[in-house]
Amino acid sequence: YFVPVSSFTPHAKLSRGSAVDGTDGGAHLASLTVGNRSSNRILIFNTGKLKDLVKVDFRAVDQWFEEDMEIYGHPKDPYKRIDILPSSRNVRVAIDGVTLAESSSALFLLETTLRTRHYLPPTSVNWEYLTPSDTLTLCPYKGRAEYYNVSVGGKLYRDLVWYYRYPTAESAPIAGHMCFYNERVEVYVDGVKETP
């Protein structure tokens, strides 16, 4: 995001630093201080169409909002979308010959440029193979994901399963449903194995 200098409130203090190499003085490193928090991952532009615009590194700020909706992880791509479709097709997930989950009421999540993900109800999962993981990730389209590890035949597969306890509004239907990494497990849809 590029934010006009004039949009920063009086509580946000911008301090220009040195010119960025290769910009001929067209951009300066800067710092942003709010209260007792500060970040130096800021650029202020001085010339051309970017004059008086500030680029704030996404991770330099605690929270970002589009209007009143918090966004996670990185800015959303306006050319990307998510569709969540309920399906009565049978989805079975296995690894090393062991069925980890099977359902005829999965949700198919289609996300632009990514492969279809299958979100299965938690009641369809064989929980004896899962143990909680400490891993958390963020997605601007779905929210904060929590993970499970899978143990089969004495082998541990880390972060093989994820779910969204409180997904974003646009992804609300997947709340609590479990998704296995297609690339790391065998997924059968109506008995036909997906290609990895």
pLDDT digits (tens, 9 = 90+) for 73-122: 888 888 888 999 999 999 999 999 999 999 999 999 999 999 999 999 99
Distances (CA, A) of 1 to 59, 72, 117: 12, 14, 29
Q: Please give the single-letter amino acid code of residue 45.
A: F
Average pLDDT (26-47) is 89
pLDDT, residue 47, reads 82
Share of the chain above pLDDT 90, in %: 63
Which of 39-45's residues contact partners 24+ apart within 8 Å by CB, and which partners?
42/14, 44/5, 44/14, 44/16, 45/2
Distance CA 55, CA 62 (A): 15
Residue 1: pLDDT band (50, 70, 90) is: confident
pLDDT surpasses 90 at 18: no
The residue count of the chain comes to 196
Q: Which CATH superfamily is domain 82-193 in?
A: Domain of unknown function (DUF427) (2.170.150.40)
DSSP-derived secondary structure letter, 39: E
Q: Can you give the three-state secondary structure of 111-162, one letter per residue?
A: ECCCCCEEEECHHHECHHHEEEEEEEEEECCCEEEEEEEEEECCEEEEEEEE
β pairing state of 117-120 and 106-111:
antiparallel
pTM above 0.95, yes or no: no
Q: Where is pLDDT greater, at 67 or 173? A: 173
Q: Among 77-81, 104-108, 127-131, 135-139, which stretch is predicted with the lowest mean pLDDT?
A: 77-81
pLDDT, residue 23, reads 67
pLDDT surpasses 80 at 38: yes
